[in-house]
Chain A
Amino acid sequence: MKKMPQLALGPIQYYWSKQKIEDFYHQVAKTDVDIVYLGEVVCSKRRIMRNDDWMRIGEQMQEQGKTVILSTLTLLEAASELSALKKTCSHSPFLIEANDIATVQILHELGKPFVSGPSVNIYNSRSLQKLGEKGLIRWTLPVELSVTELAEFQRNRPDIIETEIFAWGRLPLAYSARCFSARAENLQKDDCQFCCQKYPDGLLLSTREDEAFLCINGIQTQSARTVNLLGEMDQFVELGVDVLRISPQSEHTIDIIERFSSVLKQPQSADRFNSELEEWMPDMACNGYWNGDAGMENCIKSPAHTGTGHD
């Protein structure tokens, strides 16, 4: 029998209040999620949670039998950010998720294994192999790649490296030096007043004909649409995907985890959750990248087309 993927909860991309974060993980502890990513990945100015707070939540998660991974910043610019990162990497009792090559280098120098998030650019097997030599034990497929590329990767990947797929959430698409949340409020980044905190699912950017297009989250730009790959479970199992990542949103994350978990237990049941899952999205659904199209497209598959073509 083929192995079913594990379920992971990605790092919170937004800037929530401390109370909301504490309450959120209190709920998460009760779910079936196997892996929990903790920590700030977008902006070094977001310091409402101190290192100790993350450590404490991590320990609580571990007590509930979850595997804890500490996520790190995606864009590292200042020397101060780099030294804070080094400290985190040296002292963390948890496995670390690298979101920049700097973190890969630091962990390699420390002789610690690591996993990589979706913003570490691994587009071919030779890159994966090379990072494996540096200590990579699990990688995340870049969100813009499709099932065709995944299948090719899975054919050649080293046995020791697991594969993770970004399966639910608004897609992280871009990072900048500029804070677009501050720009929207006419504030300077250096005096941002943490305005991103007002938008627990990011700030919608629409076209001039009111089509929801992107989502502003500080220096990060996300898709307005939410990717949902729950319906691809057959292919995940067939291709030997090890972990599915759900990216947290301000509401219904626990419900979404439960639906994923239920499909993992009973793979035929995905379709019946579609309408409620779509209701829980902050905007519409998309799955274009997975199908090799523009990321924003949403292709609704007929049940006849579930094979990978690589069997």
Chain B
Amino acid sequence: MELICPAGNLPSLKAAIDNGADAVYIGFQDDTNARHFAGLNFNDKKANEGVSYAHQQGRKIFAAINTYPQVTGFERWKQAVDKAAHLGVDALILADIGLLDYASERWPDLRLHLSVQASATNAASLRFYHENFGIQRAVLPRVLSVKQVEQVIKESPVDIEVFGFGSLCVMVEGRCLLSSYATGQSPNTFGACSPGSAVRWKETDQGLESRLNGVLIDRYEEGENAGYPTLCKGRFQVENKIGYAIEEPTSLNTLSLLPELMRIGVGALKVEGRQRSPTYVKQVTQVLRAAIDASKRDPENFMPDAEWMNALQKVSEGAQSTLGAYARPWQ
């Protein structure tokens, strides 16, 4: 099982490689990738350096071009694909049918991975992308139980990558328009969820308020930890009850599932967080490297080390974690 780590800049990329990532995924500095944040991602020069650094150590770089090319700007996405091909990346991570069609036609020898943003949750969907574009791997949305992942792997024509750690998307990736409903910008159209430009914080008599384009996402009393107002992780009212109606601020953590994920044949484990710091990348990569190695050595007696869990807890959203959809009760 490969370990795939995120990098939003060169120091993060090096931290991932130095601490045992098998591959690092990166994006370019525009809306062609799903972490389109100011000051993040790679220009040509840094991308070049990153690819050389990884290749010198025998590791891989994947380029995520995983937003949906807009009908009025398809050219820009084609250019991103061409740029990645010229850089010599080891694979492209794509979601859009049109762009997959372009990439497979223009760069037939370049390895293609299906992004989680393509929302492929079953074997028939994977067959579509495999038959039409020759994808060699797919990243599964964070909606399947372990049993369902196993079923998909059994029937899948391609290698399967799943999320192992990081911020949790509650909705099927690629099928969530909540962000554009509130702000006009979504992962599909713009490469960002709950974009920073729409966020406002205000101290009020009732507490600290976070808003997204005017919509009250949460309100914190004194002593409560305030988190980023990702709109599915706010506190709302449903039938006069106030609470986390969709999801709490929490991160996915699959350490305890590693032997099981290996047993069912997961080919790669992905860490979320291209928007996070080099320190985050370093810590998470270190822990997951050690955990995967330990699980490989002795899957029967594998137990997540308390120190690993502590380290991951510290970098988790809301300082808490969950098995997410892998475990039925979460659903």
User: Residues of A at under 8 Å CB distance from B?
Assistant: 74-79, 81-82, 85, 100-106, 108, 119, 121-131, 142-145, 148-149, 152-153, 171, 173-180, 183-184, 188-190, 203-211, 213-214, 216, 221, 223, 288-289, 292-296
On chain B, the residues within 8 Å of A292 by CB distance are 184
- Cβ contact of A126, chosen from B101, B170, B219, cutoff 8 A: B101
Closest to B185 in A: A294
A76 and B119 CA atoms in complex are apart in Å by: 10
Within 8 A of A (CB), among B191-223: 213, 215-219
Q: Is the CB of A174 within 8 A of B144?
A: no
Q: Is the CB of A295 within 8 A of B98?
A: no
Q: Smallest CB–CB gap between B8 and chain A, Å?
A: 24
On chain A, the residues within 8 Å of B120 by CB distance are 101
Q: Is the CB of B172 within 8 A of A75?
A: yes
A138 and B120 CA atoms in complex are apart in Å by: 22
Within 8 A of A (CB), among B100-138: 101-102, 118-125, 127-129, 131-132
Q: Smallest CB–CB gap between A160 and chain B, Å?
A: 18
- Cβ contact of B237, chosen from A79, A105, A128, A210, cutoff 8 A: A210
Closest to A123 in B: B68
On chain A, the residues within 8 Å of B245 by CB distance are 180, 183-184, 205, 216
Closest to A106 in B: B124
Closest to A126 in B: B98
A184 and B247 CA atoms in complex are apart in Å by: 11
- Cβ contact of A121, chosen from B72, B96, B143, B239, cutoff 8 A: B96
Closest to A189 in B: B331
- Cβ contact of B183, chosen from A105, A126, A294, cutoff 8 A: A294
Q: Is the CB of A126 within 8 A of B102?
A: yes
- Cβ contact of B177, chosen from A100, A176, A207, A295, cutoff 8 A: A295
Q: A144-B180, A176-B170 are in contact. List 10 more A-B contacts (CB 8 A).
A: A85-B124, A126-B102, A129-B98, A149-B70, A178-B325, A184-B245, A205-B246, A208-B219, A221-B246, A295-B180
A129 and B97 CA atoms in complex are apart in Å by: 10
On chain B, the residues within 8 Å of A173 by CB distance are 176-178, 181
Within 8 A of A (CB), among B72-115: 72, 74, 95-99, 101-102
Q: Smallest CB–CB gap between B294 and chain A, Å?
A: 29
* Residue of A125, A127, A179 contacting most chain B CB atoms (<10 Å): A127
On chain B, the residues within 8 Å of A178 by CB distance are 170, 246-247, 325, 330-331
On chain A, the residues within 8 Å of B230 by CB distance are none
On chain A, the residues within 8 Å of B155 by CB distance are 79
B171 within 8 A of A: yes
On chain A, the residues within 8 Å of B98 by CB distance are 123-130
A78 and B150 CA atoms in complex are apart in Å by: 10
Given contacts A121-B119, A174-B175, contact A206 B188 (CB under 8 A): no
On chain B, the residues within 8 Å of A190 by CB distance are 328, 331
A165 and B178 CA atoms in complex are apart in Å by: 19
Given contacts A102-B124, A153-B71, contact A79 B151 (CB under 8 A): yes
How many of chain B's residues have a CB under 8 angstroms from any CB in A?
70
Q: Is the CB of A188 within 8 A of B329?
A: yes
Q: Is the CB of A177 within 8 A of B68?
A: no
A to B CB contacts below 8 Å, 21 in the list: A76-B124, A77-B122, A82-B123, A82-B124, A85-B124, A100-B119, A101-B119, A102-B123, A102-B124, A102-B128, A121-B68, A123-B71, A125-B71, A126-B99, A142-B177, A149-B70, A177-B331, A184-B239, A189-B328, A203-B239, A206-B237
B238 within 8 A of A: yes
B182 within 8 A of A: yes
A294 and B213 CA atoms in complex are apart in Å by: 9
Q: Is the CB of A208 within 8 A of B242?
A: yes
Which 8 pairs, one residue from A and one from B, show the smallest C-beta to C-beta distance? Answer: A126-B98, A102-B124, A177-B143, A123-B68, A295-B181, A127-B98, A105-B128, A177-B325
Given contacts A126-B101, A173-B181, A213-B236, contact A207 B329 (CB under 8 A): no
Q: Mark B39-75, 1 if CB is under 8 A from A, else 0.
A: 0000000000000000000000000000011111010
- Cβ contact of B188, chosen from A81, A126, A144, cutoff 8 A: A144
Closest to B121 in A: A77
Q: Smallest CB–CB gap between B119 and chain A, Å?
A: 7
B6 within 8 A of A: no
Q: Is the CB of B175 within 8 A of A119?
A: yes
Q: Smallest CB–CB gap between A150 and chain B, Å?
A: 9
